[in-house]
Structure 1
């Protein structure tokens, strides 16, 4: 008879923490997002160009300080920072302090001007971007049982689940406000750790803007059975927290917005990537057909640009991502203020 394999029951939060960030975890061993799933950074340089325009607006509102911080939280391969450094106006580039926040090792070929660290700076004046970072902040999963919510326990080796104890009073309070469960079998992902992580980012801003960009949902339309998902080698796979794949869950950005306001944000905007990028000059409109006759090469270039922009702003894809922008000590930049 074959020996049985012992089952190790963990909360999803603990299992995700170990699978993603523990010794030998998915991100600790240097896995790069582009190898497993497509992000806006990889889809087109026009995403970074839009952030560069946003940075220029922040710079103007701050009075063009001697040092302007650009902090990319969850920087991946550092593509946003590299592009902004390459394209920024000389005056801005000379004052720019680019900081990549990433647990993976620094990749080769990064510009020497980019600081690479595992935590955001304690004091920031400028722009903070967190693109697809909060969805990887570990959290607990609960399921409604006949006697109330129960924390879901998981075997990291197999992904098999079983019901566990009742949630803590703090988690129950978060659930009631942000993701109330009604029927047995309903599930929720407790976003309290993401709220705390985002509040920590906003709290480091002396003056400036913080932007979170992610898969998201709001209280009016939470998914009944949750959103836990795994990614590996460009494909969606079961969310097994064994370190072999990325494990993510969509973000309750409305709850994060309230946490950011408590941390000091004085102006906030919650919108979609489609609306934000349109406001920042990214358009998927096709070039006029007569350009093909007048200048075929220019037409093909413009057509390629339009195709990339269309992918970034597709409401059923990247354009459906949520954008949470929160300012401290300054108004929202003009391009985003117009969306309010």
Structure 2
């Protein structure tokens, strides 16, 4: 007999419960390609961003760098390697991850199973919010219903109407109109992001993720499974990663309520280009005058091109929010909005005064 549960419950158990996908120490690189694994240039760009944050903070004696959903901790190691010596000497790196600490990680990196109480510096949440469990709601002829799932088979059936809090979130951020329309209730992700921003004493938090905005929600949702480098059915039995895209525009509002001073919602393509990545091929004539340099520059261009490809990693949403400091100079030039929440009147590239 099927044990029907909500998708949020099923995801929580499948990903983070006893024996769950991430609880048993699965690493993202084993199942899907992220920006961290694509190129060291991703870490170098984040290091440049951290240097700007450090300057805005007046170069404090301790500079926090927190990676939420850190996996193996590889990103922290790489960012630290690209920092100037003075900045690196004051760095206090911390990995937030429920999986066991990997062997060989530098001792300077703290390994935490929850967010630190306070941060002065920068928080990175790269492909974290998409793994925060959410409920799924489907519009029926008689109104919306929470979708129930059998965790063993992935089979679904209609459940009760959504709770009042979820219904309010849906009406604000993902309204359903026609029977068969589905939505993923992002309220838990908004809460998770608010908990990050609320811990910023001063500095910057950035979330990078698969995302969408209110003006372009996917009609049937985005639940997906990943295993061994392939897309698989989203069966929440613990055998695969179960993920769904993030309503980052809703997280904007949550971060503002948590005290964000300034906000930028943009794409990874635009953010990384502002941080110096171009993907530009080296001049062909250097192939004969400096063949080794040409090959190295060509490899670098290929790696950058992958990171900023608008049809791939470059299409990720970037949500940047600050506390106590303005947006960093490199990113402030991307501002194109005038105070609206992206997805309602405009899409990306909006700086929001909060």
What is the TM-score with the length of structure 2 in the denominator?
0.94
Confirm or deny that 1:164 pairs with 2:159.
yes
Confirm or deny that 1:282 pairs with 2:277.
yes
Counterpart residue number, 2:349: none
Measure the CA separation in 2 of the matches of 1:324 and 1:83.
21
SS of residue in 2 equivalent to 1:127:
strand
Measure the CA separation in 2 of the matches of 1:178 and 1:259.
12
Confirm or deny that 1:18 pairs with 2:9.
no
How many residue pairs were aligned? 335
CA RMSD of aligned residues (A): 0.5
Counterpart residue number, 1:314: 309
Counterpart residue number, 1:214: 209
Task: Kindly provide the CA deviation profile for residues 80-122 of structure 1, in whole angstroms up to 9, marking residues without a partner as x.
Answer: 1101222322111111000000111111111110000111110
* Structure 1: gaps spanning 5 or more residues: 1-5
Q: Which of 169, 175, 181 is the aligned partner of 1:180? A: 175
Confirm or deny that 1:47 pairs with 2:23.
no
SS of residue in 1 equivalent to 2:302:
helix
Counterpart residue number, 2:117: 122
Counterpart residue number, 2:199: 204
Shift of 1:152: 0.1
Measure the CA separation in 2 of the matches of 1:166 and 1:180.
14
Counterpart residue number, 1:233: 228
Measure the CA separation in 2 of the matches of 1:53 and 1:80.
14
Measure the CA separation in 2 of the matches of 1:219 and 1:190.
13
Task: Kindly provide the CA deviation profile for residues 164-186 of structure 1, in whole angstroms up to 9, marking residues without a partner as x.
Answer: 00001111100001000000000
Confirm or deny that 1:69 pairs with 2:64.
yes
Judge which range, 103-112 or 225-234, deviates more.
103-112
Contact map agreement 2:43 2:82 (CA 8 A) in 1 = no
Counterpart residue number, 2:141: 146
Measure the CA separation in 1 of the matches of 2:334 and 2:74.
27
Counterpart residue number, 2:250: 255
Judge which range, 105-114 or 19-28, deviates more.
105-114
Task: List aligned pairs for 1:30-109, cutoff 5 A.
Answer: 30-109=25-104
Task: Kindly provide the CA deviation profile for residues 131-156 of structure 1, in whole angstroms up to 9, marking residues without a partner as x.
Answer: 00000000000000011110000000
Measure the CA separation in 2 of the matches of 1:313 and 1:286.
14
Deviation above 3 Å: which 4+ runs of structure 1?
none
Measure the CA separation in 2 of the matches of 1:88 and 1:326.
22
SS of residue in 1 equivalent to 2:111:
strand
* Structure 2: gaps spanning 5 or more residues: 336-354
SS of residue in 2 equivalent to 1:261:
helix
Confirm or deny that 1:265 pairs with 2:260.
yes
Measure the CA separation in 1 of the matches of 2:76 and 2:221.
33
Counterpart residue number, 1:293: 288
SS of residue in 1 equivalent to 2:225:
strand
Confirm or deny that 1:137 pairs with 2:132.
yes
What is the TM-score with the length of structure 1 in the denominator?
0.98
